[in-house]
Structure 1
Amino acid sequence: MKSWYLVYCKPRGETRAQQNLALQQIETYLPTLPQQITKAGKTSVKRLPLFPCYLFVYFDPLEMSVSKIHSTRGVSRIIGCREEMTAIDDAIVHSIKMREAKMLNALQLPNDTKLAENGEQALVVGDKVKFVDGPFKELEGIFEEESGDKRCHILFEIMGQQKRVSVSRASVKGV
């Protein structure tokens, strides 16, 4: 079963490891800490790794060879990879994603509301949404992240378990 695992990367190699794992169709998450920097009178937001040298990887060790991840450029080793893999709870990773998004929005949007391209209010990680069409019509969920130009990931509870689905961005609206 797919789970999140923690990967130790070579020094300042988190981005390289993330790019190389993405080329292998392996989902990754690099938590960043937005930091406001002012140079020559211009203020910008730079995103630094929250946990330097660490990267979260989402895969199934029964379907994908662990040695394939170990041999990826930028990766040093999987943490807790001895006889049994140590998975990280999805709720922990989700919580980190939500806090990261809130910190980034606080720095970038002090008093105004961010609008999506279609004029509606843009969704932020953790926002409640409602499906307006498709097989999940009328169900509510939580916006997790954008996935490309026209899709997004939504978390919702079904049969007592929280599930993640990728749907068309047009099929959900903020509540």
Structure 2
Amino acid sequence: MNWYVVYTKPKWEKKVAEKLNQIGIECYCPIITQVKQWSDRKKKVEVPLFNSYVFVRLADSNRNAVFEVAGVVRYLFWLGKPAIVRDEEINTIKTSLKAENISDISVTTIKVGDKIKLESGVFSNQSGIVQEVSKTYCILVLESLGCILKIKYNSI
């Protein structure tokens, strides 16, 4: 069985994951806790790590079963085929999210095109290629996960 990426309606990730589990489909929706600030208060909220994505593990012949769940839009495709995520990539995400002390990522003297290996945080041990650098952030392309990561950092 392979892990596939299901694209959901915006803000439906947790609902879709819950419904998929209820009908017996193994799925994973990575959740992180963020502090959101409103005009009158701050609150910790749990939000999906990847907006509009849920990972599902099932046999290729059962792929259509996910469309029984409201909120599922389509599968994510890569090079004309449904995107398959390796088990070790799912395990890396799970392990990284369990880390208690997620430290800030600091970036020094890098340029566009450099290959960087992240040493801590949610994406530790992932390699990325620098796409853009500014005074307050860096954008990395994480090809193994098929995503773009924007890392904000403090100026010294």
Please point out which of 91, 96, 121 is paired with 2:93.
96
The equivalences for 1:1-175 within 5 A come to: 2-36=1-35, 45-62=44-61, 64=62, 66-80=63-77, 84-102=81-99, 105-106=100-101
For 2:85, the aligned partner's letter is: I
| 3-state secondary structure, aligned to 1:92 | helix
8 Å CA contact 1:4, 1:90 repeated in 2: yes
Deviation at residue 23 of structure 1 after TM alignment: 1.2
What do residues 71-107 of structure 1 show as CA deviations (whole Å, max 9, x unaligned)?
32111111128975432111111111111111xx238
Unaligned runs of 5+ in 1: 108-175
What do residues 17-48 of structure 1 show as CA deviations (whole Å, max 9, x unaligned)?
11111111111111122224589xx9864221
What do residues 140-163 of structure 1 show as CA deviations (whole Å, max 9, x unaligned)?
xxxxxxxxxxxxxxxxxxxxxxxx
- Tell me: CA distance 1:44–1:11, structure 2 relative to 1, closer, same or farther (3 Å): closer
TM-score, normalised by the number of residues in structure 1? 0.50
- Tell me: CA distance 1:36–1:83, structure 2 relative to 1, closer, same or farther (3 Å): closer
TM-score, normalised by the number of residues in structure 2? 0.55
Deviation at residue 9 of structure 1 after TM alignment: 0.4
Structure 1: distance between partners of 2:69 and 2:79: 18
For 2:92, the aligned partner's letter is: S
Structure 1: distance between partners of 2:78 and 2:37: 42
Structure 2: distance between partners of 1:88 and 1:52: 16
For 1:6, the aligned partner's letter is: V
> Among the aligned pairs, what percent are the same residue?
25
For 2:13, the aligned partner's letter is: E
Structure 2: distance between partners of 1:57 and 1:49: 15
Aligned-residue RMSD, C-alpha: 2.9
What do residues 91-143 of structure 1 show as CA deviations (whole Å, max 9, x unaligned)?
111111111111xx238xxxxxxxxxxxxxxxxxxxxxxxxxxxxxxxxxxxx
8 Å CA contact 1:21, 1:27 repeated in 2: yes
8 Å CA contact 1:70, 1:78 repeated in 2: no
Unaligned runs of 5+ in 2: 103-156
Structure 1: distance between partners of 2:79 and 2:35: 40
